[in-house]
Amino acid sequence: MEKFIVKGGAKLSGDVRISGAKNAALPILLSSLLADEPVTLHNVPRLQDVKTSLKLLAQLGIPHSREGQDSYKIHPGVKHGHVAEYELVKTMRASVLVLGPLLAKCGEAEVSLPGGCAIGARPVNLHIEGLRQMGAEISVEQGYIKAKAPNGLQGAHLILDLVSVTGTENLMAAATLAKGETIIENAAREPEVVDLANFLNTLGADIRGAGTDTIRIQGVSRLHGGEYRVMPDRIETGTFLVAALATGGHIRCTHTDPSLLDAVLKKLSDAGADITRGETTIELRSTGTPRSVNIVTAPHPAFPTDMQAQFTALNAIAEGTGWVRETIFENRFMHVPELKRMGADIDLDGNTAICRGAAELSGAQVMCTDLRASASLVIAGLVAKGETEVERIYHIDRGYEKIEEKLTALGANIQRVSM
Ligand SMILES: CC(=O)N[C@H]1[C@@H](OP(=O)(O)OP(=O)(O)OC[C@H]2O[C@@H](n3ccc(=O)[nH]c3=O)[C@H](O)[C@@H]2O)O[C@H](CO)[C@@H](O)[C@@H]1O
Ligand SMILES: C=C(OP(=O)(O)O)C(=O)O
């Protein structure tokens, strides 16, 4: 087990290179099994979840080779296995994204139900219902989704009850090899959905409308190989920007895309940051003590749930009272009791955290409960007086590439130590 020791007080300053997006890389890696020929992916972040995805592909009989620092070649071939086992799936919810591709390509799939996690129940009923409408026979037995479509999937008109990012991705990927046209209405508009669509189109898929709430997919008979560069991580970008503002710093995120972060940049400006957008850079300069902001999480293009915890930490030290309302997940406030241990003044009222700011945080032993909660504790540690020990950092390693090295290069005092 490892932990971070963070000594607060340093103002972040300098350039930080943003990695490829976890939430785009995982669906892209898992959908690459749809191709009959090798697929080369660039800008793949070096994360625990990427390792898990590669392991899952290997279990299906799909090997990969490393092609340099952040590139991988996946070799799916025409035939491979169709079972995704619990032991891997339980460690990464995104594993369920093999369901649609496997069913479309192999005519059958057995994928362990991912189950809930610290932030909520995270059901997959919309994925299952959509695939049924496309002609699949699906049952849930002994914790596995067992799906069959011996004669292939059929195009269908799908209207999703809720905006679901992984649901849209699973169904869109499955539809690439279905017979005829599939229309997905009330589709998620997240940039990662667009990245997956662009990737699949590179392999010969025919997907239009990704990024809007109606996606049309004309099925094709096969997908060929290809090469693709994963989009930058908008949540990693936002996390570094919040850390910079919280510490009163001045940083520039490079290799990113400001157009992916409109809602987040707006809130950072409201909080008092001076933001300069370049083509692939975002510069943030603090202009004094940050001001509290009110936030409601909602599907893209509204404020992302994956940035909620980081802004809760920012509100804890900002001037004034701000509230944070979480509308996507039923239990995404596990960071609040930990922040309170550091002196934050936050009350929870249902799905809303009311943060009375200007807290003088002090270092404490705190525990990560999920990925973005972990990021909020690191941010709090960077600001707190004294030393913060952040435990269970395997959560943070799922989704942030070398976060302590990137923070250290910006002047932070953070160390990874074995317990
Ligand atoms: C809309 C949204 O912001 N989705 C976030 C969600 O994606 P993720 O794909 O994990 O979650 P979904 O978008 O599928 O879920 C959105 C909502 O729909 C519900 N639901 C989903 C699928 C289903 O079959 N049945 C069902 O009821 C969920 O419980 C949730 O309340 O978590 C990711 C990781 O934190 C974020 O990057 C995504 O931005
Ligand atoms: C919760 C997250 O990811 P996952 O859906 O993989 O758990 C996240 O990216 O914030």
Instruction: List Cβ neighbours of 131 (8 Å cut-off, separation of 6 or more).
Output: 99, 100, 103, 138, 147, 149, 153, 170, 171, 174
Query: Which H or E run contains 56?
Result: helix 48-59
H helix intervals, 90-151? 99-106, 125-133
| 145 has binding-site annotation | no
Q: Would you state the pLDDT for residue 115? A: 76
Q: Would you state the pLDDT for residue 117? A: 83
Is this prediction's pTM over 0.90? yes
Q: Which residues of the chain have pLDDT under 50?
A: none
| 138 has binding-site annotation | no
| 403 has binding-site annotation | no
Q: Would you state the pLDDT for residue 358? A: 79
Atom in ligand 2 nearest the alpha carbon of residue 166: 5
Q: Which ligand is nearest to the CA of 196?
A: 1
Atom in ligand 2 nearest the alpha carbon of residue 372: 10
301 lines ligand 1 (CB under 6 A): no
Q: Would you state the pLDDT for residue 419? A: 85
| 406 has binding-site annotation | no
Bridge partners (DSSP) listed for residue 68: none
Measured torsion, CA atoms of residues 298, 301, 303, 305, in degrees rounded to the nearest 10: 60
Atom in ligand 1 nearest the alpha carbon of residue 121: 29
CA-closest residue to ligand 2 atom 8: 306
Instruction: List Cβ neighbours of 288 (8 Å cut-off, separation of 6 or more).
Output: 248, 272
- Look up the CATH architecture of domain 2-19+232-418: Alpha-beta prism (3.65)
126 lines ligand 1 (CB under 6 A): yes
Q: Would you state the pLDDT for residue 56? A: 96
- d(Cα 38, Cα 66) in Å, to the nearest integer? 13
Q: Would you state the pLDDT for residue 364? A: 97
Alpha carbon of 367 to ligand 2 centroid (Å): 17
Alpha carbon of 166 to ligand 1 centroid (Å): 7
Alpha carbon of 68 to ligand 1 centroid (Å): 33
Residues in the chain: 419
102 lines ligand 1 (CB under 6 A): no
Alpha carbon of 106 to ligand 2 centroid (Å): 27
CA-nearest of 187, 301, 333 to 234 is 301
Atom in ligand 2 nearest the alpha carbon of residue 94: 6
The reply to whether domains 2-19+232-418 and 22-229 share a CATH topology is yes
Q: Give the residue, out of 165, 190, 295, 335, with the most ligand 1 atoms within 8 A of its beta carbon, to mutate for a pocket test.
A: 165
Q: Hey, what CATH class is 22-229 in?
A: alpha beta
Alpha carbon of 92 to ligand 2 centroid (Å): 9
Q: Would you state the pLDDT for residue 57? A: 97
Copy the structure tokens of residue 355: 């943060």
Complete edge-to-edge strand list for the sheet that includes strand 214-218:
157-159, 181-185, 214-218, 206-208
Each domain of the chain, given as residue ranges in start order, spans 2-19+232-418, 22-229
Catalytic residues: 117
Q: Which residues line ligand 2 (CB under 6 A)?
A: 23, 93-94, 117, 306, 371-372, 399
Q: Which ligand is nearest to the CA of 305?
A: 1
